[in-house]
Every structure is written in structure tokens, then in C-alpha cells.
Structure 1
Amino acid sequence: MKLDQKVVDSIFRELLEENSKRYRQLLDKPANNDDDTYSRARNALAKLSEKEKEFVFAFIDLAIADSASVIFGTLDGSHFPDGIEDDFIVTYKNEEIQGSLQDIFIEKAEDKGVYK
């Protein structure tokens, strides 16, 4: 496996598999009167049907994917947020890996159905 693929696979797994699962577990707990961010979100979700909750969780995955895509695009040199005008050199194990990170990530997100 190429190193760029390995890096994206690892980050994708953490963001859209492990973190997504963790958010669902934390937000699927019973509503309560606590005032932390998760409790407020849980209380709001408790008012929704199971189908509506799935729409919210799918949107969370979309927001995660879009955020990661912006970062990978910036590192690849295909996206330039305001104030960033030059290219990055991204190395892993002494090998340059930038150039296709965003494409690899978007393909994985599409395969998972994030953009549906």
C-alpha cells in the first residue's frame, strides 16, 4: 500500500469510523438535565424520531468529511484558504505524500456513502 493511502486510511478510520461511532454512542444515551455540550445535543435528539436522528448523524459525518477534505486539499495544494498562498511539503517515513490526499479521502467518503 502506498504511504499516502496508508495515511488517509488511518485518518479516515479514526474520523469516520471510530469518532462517528463514539458520537453516536454518546448522543444515544438517555436525555438528562446536565448542561454540557453532549447533554444538550442528546436532549435535542431525544425529540426526534429514529429516522430523523439518522439524518442528524449523517450530517455530522458530512461535516467531518468536508472539514477533513479542506485540510487534505490545503496540504495537497489544490485548496487555498484565505491567507495561505504557498504549497506544503508533507512527508511520512521520509517520503512526500501530498498531491492525492484529498482525492483518496473523498473517494473513501463516497464509498462509505457520506455524500448521499
Structure 2
Amino acid sequence: MDNLDSISAAWCHTLLSEHIAMYDEMLLSGDPEKVVPEYAGATAIYQSLDREGQVALLQLLKVVSVDTASQLLGNLDGSSYISGIEADFSVKYDGVDVTGYLQDSFLGTVEDEGYFPKRRLEL
């Protein structure tokens, strides 16, 4: 499943590097009075934190991102179930059925690539 490893690496990089950096920049530079209402309160709080607090919040965003992606991939794999959904999903990539491997591959990449270091995250 070499293709699946490269897909998982791409998902991890996009979710846990690119998107977290985008949120950091948006929350740091956004004017709480001008951002969309959904971000106004979070922007003001984020900007009131010192850098250590901001990094802790970014780490939480990573955990939530991994948990959400893992749940969705588990639903597609059939290892996690959604209330009210009875049929199985089938996922193919480049013509190869990858159903049943998505969640484990993603979580393995998260662990192998060190997206959650044992020490505090440094930006």
C-alpha cells in the first residue's frame, strides 16, 4: 500500500502543518473587529495570549484535527460506525480499494512523523 502511505503523508502535512500555520497566521494578524463573527472571539483571545499559550492552543487544534480525521477515516473503513448509516463504504485510490486501511495509515503517519512530540511544540 505504498500509495496509501503517500496519501497519509499528504493528509498529515496539509492538516497538521499547512492548516495549523494558516490558523496561526489568521489568528495573529486578524483584526477582531473585522474578521467574520465565527472568528472574532477566538481571534481576540488568541491575541491576548503569550506565545506559549498560543502554541498550546495550536497543539489543541492539531489534536482536534487528528481526532476528526481519524473518526471520518474510521467511518469510511468500517472500524467506526455512524448512527443511522447501515451500508459499508468503498474507497478507491487510483483504482485500488483502500477501504479498511485509511485510519490506521493516517494514525501511523501521525505517530511516525512526530506530529505530537512528547515535549512542548516549538513554532
TM range (shorter): 0.7 to 0.9
User: Match for residue 107 of structure 1?
Assistant: 108
Q: Please give the alpha-carbon distance, in whole angstroms, between the structure 1 residues aligned to 2:63 and 2:3.
A: 25
Shift of 1:108: 2.1
Unaligned runs of 5+ in 1: none
Q: Which moved more, 1:89-98 or 1:47-56?
A: 47-56
Q: Please give the alpha-carbon distance, in whole angstroms, between the structure 2 residues aligned to 1:40 and 1:9.
A: 33
Unaligned runs of 5+ in 2: none
Alpha-carbon distance change, 114 to 86 in structure 1, aligned in 2, over 3 angstroms: farther
Is residue 34 of structure 1 aligned with residue 34 of structure 2? yes
User: Match for residue 12 of structure 1?
Assistant: 12
Shift of 1:85: 2.4
> Quick check: 2:46–2:54 contact (8 Å CA) kept in 1?
yes
Q: Please give the alpha-carbon distance, in whole angstroms, between the structure 2 residues aligned to 1:18 and 1:35.
A: 20
What does 1:27-106 align with in structure 2 at a 5 Å threshold?
A: 27-29=27-29, 31-36=31-36, 37-106=38-107
Taking only the aligned residue pairs, the percentage that are identical comes to 26
Q: Please give the alpha-carbon distance, in whole angstroms, between the structure 2 residues aligned to 1:67 and 1:115.
A: 21
> Quick check: 2:110–2:116 contact (8 Å CA) kept in 1?
yes
TM-score, normalised with respect to structure 1 = 0.85
The Cα RMSD (Å) is: 2.2
Q: Please give the alpha-carbon distance, in whole angstroms, between the structure 2 residues aligned to 1:52 and 1:85.
A: 43
> Quick check: 1:109–1:115 contact (8 Å CA) kept in 2?
no
> Quick check: 1:75–1:88 contact (8 Å CA) kept in 2?
yes
Q: Which amino acid aligns with 1:15?
A: L
What is the aligned residue count?
116
Shift of 1:78: 0.5
Q: Which amino acid aligns with 1:104?
A: S
Q: Which amino acid aligns with 2:89?
A: F
Alpha-carbon distance change, 27 to 19 in structure 1, aligned in 2, over 3 angstroms: same
Q: Which amino acid aligns with 2:77?
A: D
